Structure 1
Amino acid sequence: MSLLQVQQLSKSFGGVAALEELSFALPAGQMLALIGPNGAGKSTCFNLINGQLRPDRGEVLLDGQSITGLDARRIWRRGVGRTFQVSAAFSSMTVLQSVQAALLSHHRRLWQLWRPADSLFRQQAMELLDQVGMAAQAQRACAVLAYGDIKRVELAMALSNAPRLLLMDEPTAGMATQERQALMALTRRLVNERGIAVLFTEHSMDVVFAHADRILVLARGQLVADGAPAVVRADARVRELYFGSGASFGGAA
């Protein structure tokens, strides 16, 4: 059984269909890219899975159990982590404190913020920072970090609830090429070590084709392709509907 199952998921806004009868499955240990032009329905799909929106029709199953209609907090507690296009790191806190805050939330102890909470879950936070290569910068303020390092801190925060499924919304947006590849290589290592599943949206095709095990292509709220990168790259319908006839897959879309 796949870890994540999306079944005939549909959502409309003001009579306009943002997502129509979307179905797919995602097993543990796989990185699945969700791509498509602006307005294709990618963000709507993420927000339905994450509980920020309720579907008009359809169902979302996590490890065989329905999470349809649950709010984002309850879904997070079921083991679904998420990173955002705009970083959620706390600029007024240090790197260590930001991850500690995420751990406090996971353990339902936010009422203890901030002192003496400064000493709580310190070791766990340092272990997470070590996994993302940020332990050496634990005492630095998030406000002074380079953008790529902020993304690493956000990833550590997303891992604080030991997620089985990680949703990454434009994880490399605003990053230089080397930073993009490094972050996704790190994500791949975490997938392999933890056996988690990753669903990510991405506009940089170099990232998608270098790191995704499988690619879903949406256009106007409908699934138009689902397959391995080589299969999607060669799909004539994808070229026509998403990239434009004859367009290259080598750059950002």
Structure 2
Amino acid sequence: MSLLRVSNLSMSFGGVKAVDDVSFDVNPGELLALIGPNGAGKSTCFNIVNGQLRPTRGSVTLDGHELVGMRPRDIWRRGVGRTFQVAATFNSMTVLENVQMALVSHEKRLYGLWKRAASHFEEEAIALLDQVGMATHAQRACSVLAYGDVKRVEMAVALANRPKLLLMDEPTAGMAPQERNDLMALTKRLAIERNIGVLFTEHSMDVVFASADRMIVLARGKLIAQGDADTIRNDANVQAVYFGTGKTFRPHATLSRDIPKGSHE
């Protein structure tokens, strides 16, 4: 049984179909890349799965439980973690405190003062930081970290709710090549060790081809191709959508220069 099942998903804004009858699955331990040019519907799909948008039609199930209609916080508690294109951490807090806050929230505990809350879940937070290689930085403020390290802290925060599914929105945006490789290698390792399904969007094709187990390609709201690297690389529809010429793109090519970052879908 698939972990995440998206069935016949459609979303319209006025007369515009942002997502048009899209279906796909994500399996435990798998990295599935959701790619496509600007306006393809990637962000809309992501936000529907996360509960930020309610689809016009269709179903999204996690372990057989319907997510459509649930609030984002309830979807998070059910086991859907998320990282963002711009890392979402509290810069004024330490690395450790950021993870502790996520753990406190997941356990539904409320505290009047952060000084009291800071004494809770310290061991659990350190264990999560150790998994992402940041335990030695636990007492540093997030504001002084290199961006690649901030993304690792965000990963530890995303793991605080013991996710079954992790949504990653352009995880390597703004990162140097080695940082990209390291983060995606970490993601793959955690997905396998924790049996987490990962759905991610990414503009850099070298990252996609190096990291994804499978890919699905959207264009103008429709799913036009899905499969492994060779299937996608040789698909005529994908070639035409990305290049308009039928050229075959290579595994280590990057589309980051062809697709402006920070665009809205």
Bucket of the pairwise TM-score, normalised by the shorter protein:
over 0.9
Deviates more, 1:91-100 or 1:236-245: 236-245
Q: CA deviation at 1:14?
A: 2.4
Partner of 2:149: 149
Asked whether the 8 Å contact 2:234–2:248 carries over to 1, the reply is: no
Q: Distance in 1 between matches of 2:208 and 2:226?
A: 13
Aligned position for 1:165: 165
The share of aligned pairs that are identical, in percent, is: 64
Counterparts in 2 of 1:181 and 1:113: CA distance versus 1, 3 Å: farther
Structure 1 contact 100–120 (Cα < 8 Å) conserved: yes
For the 8 Å contact 1:48–1:55, the answer to whether it is kept is yes
Aligned residue identity for 1:121: F
**CA distance in 2: counterparts of 1:89 and 1:130, whole angstroms:** 18
Q: Partner of 1:206 in structure 2?
A: 206
* Structure-1 residue corresponding to 2:50: 50
Q: How does 1:66-215 map to 2 (within 5 A)?
A: 66-215=66-215
Letter of the 1:35 counterpart: I
Structure 2 counterpart of 1:11, which letter?
M
Partner-residue secondary structure (3-state), 1:116:
helix
Displacement of 1:248 in angstroms is 2.9
Deviation at 1:65, TM superposition (A): 1.2
Contact 1:55–1:69, Cα closer than 8 Å, also in 2: no
Deviation larger for 46-55 or 10-19: 10-19
CA contact 2:111–2:117 (8 Å) conserved in 1: no
Offset at residue 44 of structure 1 (A): 0.3
- Name the counterpart of 1:252: 255
Aligned partners of 1:201 and 1:14: how far apart in 2? 25
Query: Whole-Å Cα distance in 2 between the matches of residues 118 and 62 of structure 1?
Result: 32
Give me the whole-angstrom Cα distance separating, in 2, the residues matched to 1:147 and 1:247.
Answer: 33
Aligned alpha-carbon RMSD (Å): 1.0
Distance in 2 between residues matched to 1:232 and 1:52, nearest whole Å? 29
The CA distance in 2 between the partners of 1:225 and 1:27, in whole Å, is 18
Contact 1:170 1:203 (C-alpha < 8 Å) held by counterparts: yes
Q: Closer, same or farther in 2 for the Cα pair 1:133/1:215, shift >3 Å?
A: same
Q: Distance in 1 between matches of 2:99 and 2:81?
A: 13
1:112 Cα deviation after fit: 4.3
Structure 2 distance, partners of 1:119, 1:25, is: 40
Counterpart Cα distance in 1 of 2:27 and 2:93 = 36
Find the counterpart in structure 2 of residue 28 from structure 1.
28
- Contact preservation (8 Å) 1:7, 1:23: yes
How far is 1:171 from its partner? Answer: 0.3
Report the Cα distance in structure 2 between the residues aligned to 1:83 and 1:220, rounded to whole angstroms.
25
**Matched-pair contact (CA < 8 Å) for 2:170–2:200:** yes
Q: Across the two proteins, how many residue pairs are aligned to each other?
A: 253
Q: How far off its partner does 1:247 sit?
A: 5.8
- Find the counterpart in structure 2 of residue 4 from structure 1: 4
Question: SS in structure 2 opposite 1:43?
Answer: helix
Distance 1:184 1:15 in 2: 38
Q: Scaled by the length of structure 1, what TM-score is found? A: 0.98
Q: How big is each residue's C-alpha offset from its partner over 1:209-231, in whole Å with a ceiling of 9 and x where there is no partner?
A: 00100000000000000100111
Q: Deviations over 1:18-68 (max 9, x none)?
A: 100110111111100000011110000000000001011001010011111
Unpaired runs of 5+ residues, structure 1, are none
Give distance in 2, aligned partners of 1:75 and 1:113.
Answer: 27
In the alignment, the residues of structure 2 paired with residue 146 and residue 252 of structure 1 have an alpha-carbon distance, to the nearest angstrom, of 25
Which string of whole-angstrom CA distances, capped at 9 and with x for unpartnered residues, describes residues 88-147 of structure 1?
Answer: 111110000000001111011143440111110000000000000000101110011100
CA distance in 2, matches of 1:21, 1:34: 15
Return the letter of the residue paired with 2:141.
Answer: A
The 1:247/1:157 distance shift into structure 2, 3 A limit, reads same
- Indicate how the Cα distance of structure 1 residues 122 and 51 shifts in structure 2: closer, same or farther if over 3 A, else same: same
